Amino acid sequence: MASLAFSATKTCSTPTYMTFFEKFDHVKHDNPIFWKVNFTSNKCKKRDLIITNVATKPPAVAPPAPPPPATTTNTVQSKRKLVAWTSVKQERWQGELEVEGEIPLWLNGTYLRNGPGLWHLGDYNFRHLFDGYATLVRLHFENGRLIMGHRQLESEAYKAAKKNNKLCYREFSEVPKPDNFLAYIGDMANLFSGASLTDNANTGVVKLGDGRVVCLTETIKGSIVVDPKTLDTIGKFQYDDNFGGLIHSAHPIVNDEEFITLLPDLINPGYLVVRMEPGTNERKVIGRVDCRGGPAPGWVHSFPVTEHYVIVPEMPLRYCAQNLLRAEPTPLYKFQWHPESKGFMHVMCKAGGNIVASVEVPLYVTFHFINAYEETDEDGRIKAVIADCCEHNADTTILEKLRLQHLRSFNGEDVLPDARVGRFTIPLDGSPYGKLEAALNPDEHGKGMDMCSINPAYLGKKYRYAYACGAQRPCNFPNTLTKVDLVDKKAKNWYDEGSVPSEPFFVARPGATREDDGVVISIISDKNGDGYALVLDGTTFEEIARAKFPYGLPYGLHGCWVPKK
């Protein structure tokens, strides 16, 4: 999921309330706050845990931003739901946390998580989950200790909003309100040039093969380099090529050898597949896929690869210029649903860029692909490509359900649209049709499935395990952490009633030979307005450690791992 923009062209404690921006001025940008945290022990469920690494100095916490108007009279429900969907309490914080349990001594490095964390400007509240200004969270693990920090990403969109106390760039569902007709005409010109599109890189964060860390969203201008140690915003990531265009896949394929992404072509509907080598900023063309249906390309938030192929999805949820031009968002925002245009999956050879398969598949809706691999016959010849995703049963209402109004108003009714592990089978024998079916019974994970990770050593290879967010019904948002076994077709689920976990991120143990030998890290917004970092054993999926934050953090999206050098 992302902050999406689209184009039609190629601390100090104080008893007095302070607004977010007044607080930012009070805590100067060039004067970072470093504290240590001391919390009262709070034993984890199901087991007695050892308290280790107790820090000594309590934090100074800024007063919270005013919550949006309550949408329910149930005080308990209101307190439970708002922690994940309320703006971050202050622009930055850093300190060592008290750990309950034991963090493995081999876990040395930094987990970075990106996501929208500021959903208001003055008294104005944003509408959609994807609109918020990016908040980076850092969990640094070293010798069993844990230091946490967070900081707002200093995009041009964020800095302009802070300076003017109003929206200045187009976000996912938000459009700056022009002062007059001439300003409106100017905004239209800036839209088509890309000048008014946001650079609010609030979707993901990746470590490139050369060590640089980049925050991303679906606008190309929203590629921003950050310092993984301080979370400082270093500057724009400038691409050294002439491709032009304004949008790309929010989730590239990134490893130590390469960076692959998709560039949708909105004029001549299709997708350009490009690669960038470590140490460079230049993208080079692998090949192009022409769309087989619809008036525009399907939305490509993510895509998978195998060892030899790039898989390009063409979803019937397609980009729509008319919707972009509207002052108020439609239920599908920048998209339109075109079931008559059908759904397709294309397979491109990494080496030569030629299309080896282009098949029609059942209608589908997905934000996130999990993984893909090549299926061989008894002689070792590749006969098909298998691609797994978090698929929403071709139901586009998931976009509307992510409005903050819906997320903040849970009243006990089960309103989260169903989702499954959707498995595409793409034959390489020239057949015009592929298959889409559930990889396991969706009841195993509560018919909820999104925000997934795998052991990165299995990227593009046959794999067994995936880690994702599932559902404990009734709910209005994924609320469990789930380990999916795609061989035994079973799932293990971790659940803390009333809490909202963010993406489970798998980190393999150095030297591991088993696929699930490692830990899973997640950040939890809990029902009491607090939050904590959680570490699960990757094999048993049992909790082994947690560390409470000084205050609850907003929900976040995607992360990456930066190993200690």
* Residue list for the binding site: 251, 301, 368, 558
CA-to-CA distance for 84 and 119, rounded, in angstroms? 11
Q: What is d(CA 36, CA 99) in angstroms, rounded to the nearest whole number?
A: 13
CA distance to 187, 196, 334, per residue, from 175 (Å): 10, 9, 12
Under 8 Å between Cβ of 521 and 505: yes
b/e code 5-21 from CB counts within 10 Å (16+ = b) = bbbbeebeeeeeebbbb
Tokens of 32: 């970072």
3-state helix, strand and coil shares in percent for the chain, rounded to the nearest 5: 10, 35, 55
Helix or strand holding residue 18 (H, E): none
Which of 421, 316, 293 has its CA nearest to residue 362? Answer: 316
Q: From CA 96, how far away is CA 378, in angstroms rounded?
A: 54
Identify the burial level of 375 via C-beta atoms within 10 angstroms of its C-beta, where 0-12 means exposed, 13-18 middle and 19 or more buried: middle
Q: Which two tokens stand for residue 541?
A: 């999926």
CA distance 208 to 226: 12
Distance CA 154, CA 166 (A): 16
Q: Closest by alpha carbon to 500, among 466, 528, 460, 535?
A: 528
Dist CA 259 CA 10 (whole Å): 22
Instruction: Please give the span between the terminal C-alpha atoms of the chain, in angstroms, as a whole number.
Output: 31
What CA–CA distance (Å, rounded) separates 237 from 376?
Answer: 39
Query: What whole-number distance in Å separates Cα of residue 305 and Cα of residue 312?
Result: 9
Considering only CA atoms, which of 113, 214, 121, 105 is closest in space to residue 167? Answer: 121
Phi and psi, residue 189, nearest 5°: -65, -40
The binding site for Fe cation consists of 251, 301, 368, 558
